[in-house]
Amino acid sequence: MAQNKAMKLTVQHFRSGVKPIWCPGCGDFSVLSSFYKTLVDLNLPSEKVAIASGIGCSGRFPAFVKAYGFHGVHGRAVPLATGMKLARPDMNVFAVGGDGDGFSIGGGHLPHAARRNVDITYIVMDNEIYGLTKGQPSPTSQVGMKKKASPYGTFDQPLNPLLMALSYGTTFVARGFSSKPKQLTELIKQGTQHKGFSIIQVISPCISFNNLYDHFKAVTKEIPEDHDPTDKAAAIKLALDTETIYIGVFYKEDRPTFTDNAAGLIEQTKDPAYGMDALVERYA
């Protein structure tokens, strides 16, 4: 049943009834709470929200939200969300996933979503580890991290997700921290309102296998107030600083979206000349 637009929405409207089953203390609880608050603040009815996810702890996200959801396969949240948005441009479409899902097996989809400027918001919950499968190093794990799957310490250099996003041409790039839910809500709101491809990397520590809360509380810092988010060079400079983990909006740009550019093509396909009957007759 469609929600009454005049009715004031609350967080309860968006709780699906399925209880989150993350480990107590997981940063993803905060991300979910900020997501609920975003939907309330922007007054987005459930029937206008669609969420695509991949595999991992964060892949469970759609089940906890009263909206349309698709729990897909590993690394495919972005193409799933792209298809949703192209089919239903009127929907508010989100992709959610973790650092392994988004930057490893799903990493090849990011540059193409960015260059197409698909109007979706991609929330990546980065815990620097594969938490669901008990602690293997992920693409963002720090050098020297010792776990059961890397007893001698990982030696691979971690990826820089925001630097990647900026180099690909993503039109909204931000980073939040699960321990700062109020700011995180504002970032998700801005990403949702942005017309184009939005990436929000959320530092979301894994309490069970990679508890870095104290570390990130010590090294995170608000982006300087005088930062110009339309200055890509300045955004890249901030992203290159790996000693201080800046949080906030790094970059935003106005550019036609994939849906805008595809609108003419979609209209052409409605012409009977492009229909199945015409094709069968042409090639029969």
CB 106 within 8 A of CB 54: yes
Cα-Cα-Cα-Cα torsion 168, 159, 189, 15, nearest 10 degrees, comes to 130
Task: Tell me the CATH number of domain 11-257, given options 3.40.50.880, 2.60.15.10, 3.20.20.70, 3.40.50.970.
Answer: 3.40.50.970
Say whether pLDDT at 4 is over 60: no
Return the pLDDT at 1. 43
Per-residue pLDDT band for 265 (boundaries 50, 70, 90) equals confident
CA distance 240 to 32: 28
β-pair partners for 53? 71, 96
Say whether pLDDT at 106 is over 80: yes
Return the pLDDT at 235. 98
Burial of residue 96 (number of CB atoms within 10 Å: 0-12, 13-18, 19+): buried
Say whether pLDDT at 276 is over 80: no
| Interior/surface letters 142-165, b for 16+ CB within 10 angstroms, e for the rest | beebebeebeeebeeebbebbbbb
CA distance 223 to 145: 28
3-state secondary structure of 114: helix
| Alpha helix ranges (H) inside 96-212 | 99-100, 110-116, 161-168, 181-193
- As a three-state string, the secondary structure of 35-70 is HHHHHHHCCCCHHHEEEEECCCHHHHHHHHECCEEE
State pLDDT tens for residues 156-179.
999 999 999 999 999 999 999 999
CB 70 within 8 A of CB 79: no
One-letter amino acid at 211 equals N
Instruction: Choose the weakest-confidence range: 4-8, 86-90, 190-194, 201-205.
Output: 4-8
Give the residue with greater pLDDT, 222 vs 275: 222
Phi-psi map region of 25: left, alpha, beta (phi>0 left; psi -120 to 50 alpha): left
State pLDDT tens for residues 206-222.
999 999 999 999 999 99
Which helix H or strand E contains 78, and what residues bound it?
Answer: helix 77-87
Q: Whole-prediction pTM value?
A: 0.92
CA distance 46 to 144: 44
Q: What are the distances in angstroms from CA 262 to CA 117, 212, 252, 257, 265?
A: 11, 43, 22, 9, 5
State pLDDT tens for residues 58-97.
999 999 999 999 999 999 999 999 999 999 999 999 999 9
